[in-house]
Structure 1
Amino acid sequence: MGTGWSLSSITTSWVDPVATLGAGTMTALVPDSVMTALSLGIARRYVGREVTVTLQGVPVTARLGSFRVRRQGAHFESRARLTGIDWGGHALEEVTAVANGVRLVPGAPTRVRTAQIDLEGRVALSALLAQVNLQSNLDWILFAEESGLIRAEHRHRRLTALVDASIADDVLRIEVIRARWRGVPVPGRYLPAPVIPLPPLPNDARNVRATRDGHVVRFTLEIPMLSSSFDLTQLLRLIG
């Protein structure tokens, strides 16, 4: 399986209570002990290395910067920091993934359930705009200005605009700072401030926020409850 195991294995493997090892073997280990052993094994083997995982059928390659786990009451929390991410051709500078409310459902295989996964990261504005410009149904071509603002040029009309944008709760808000039509300034009273609901994300994920910080866009996503299972024996062999 190499490093190409599923993302759910990386984010939840440390909480399996070793039920898949066979009747009577290692069943005396408490979940905290298993969690510690697996999290240390994953960190020792993969931190500082490039890994490839699969997320919703899309290959994701990144360098694992850190990985840690802690108990929160009756549940667990895992935190992983990834850098230099290539998500199916989309370049991200850094992402921190936090799996909250992780709990165990013993069995063969053991199921791991998370209450929510929070993703916080940053992406270069120029890289993001390059991806947006690939959309064939977009009437505008977007460029990153030296100021960090966005210059929009209409594909068919002699209309240009300088804009900024942000996302909050799955809604895109565009601020038109100034615009020109055929080189003539457009009066401010004719400049709309579009508010555009975004299409749903896979797995009921939510765009919590995205804001521009200079030439970088910082974003936060929330992924609701997920459930997965895996072969603990194979995982232990990988990190042993």
Structure 2
Amino acid sequence: MFKVFNAIKIHLLKTSVFILCSIFLFSSCEEQIDDLWDNNDDTQTFSPVVGDWYADSIKSFYSCVKTADSTADVMIDSYIDNYNLWLLSDGSLQLYFDQSINLQNECEDFYGTWSNTNGCSDSYYEYYDYSPIEFCNAYYEHNQYNIEATSCSQSAAINGTWTANEAASTVTVIMDSVCVNSFGNPSYLSSPDACGTLEYGEYFPILERTFNYSVNSQTGNIDFEGSWFDDDSSCVIFHMSLQ
């Protein structure tokens, strides 16, 4: 009987200890979960420039004078199909830049005669008198030619990093291995030797640009204002929207 009584006491003691430990552990876990929840709340702040941005339009202003006479549409004038700037939350960036030119239209705009076989001839002052491949590769410095569509195109991909100063509303992008071609645009070429084969190509191991930005509070769209890839005196405004 005494053994049974002791066994019951020991069982009750173990049960009490188990309950107390369970309460302690549950309380400790609950506090840890609360801490994690609070920490997550603290980190849910991102720069407004983070996003996968696409250019709706790009305007340039000669000598940074913002008048109708000095304004140009960069996307139309430079035959830009796509300008995609992806600013990631980890501080990295990816830039994709696509151009496409219709060579037959270019030839005929300068009063030339176009042939899919021979290219352009008899253009104004023989300005565009090239074979199709020469017209695309040598003159426009692109690498993709579609014979049927007479289109000449290129795609450039650039990686790098970015930082934002939200107090000053500026973002600085640092691009790696940029070849700027003879037209002042980023090239599909990415090595210094290949870039040097272009007529007026210029290679940058690192190319840094700082832009002022403003966010439309209603649409969430953003404008970046700064300079283009070359070193001319123009200012450029990128009107961007999210993908």
TM value normalised by structure 1? 0.30
Greater helix fraction, Structure 1 or Structure 2 = 2
Q: Tell me which structure has the larger Cα radius of gyration.
A: 2
TM value normalised by structure 2? 0.29
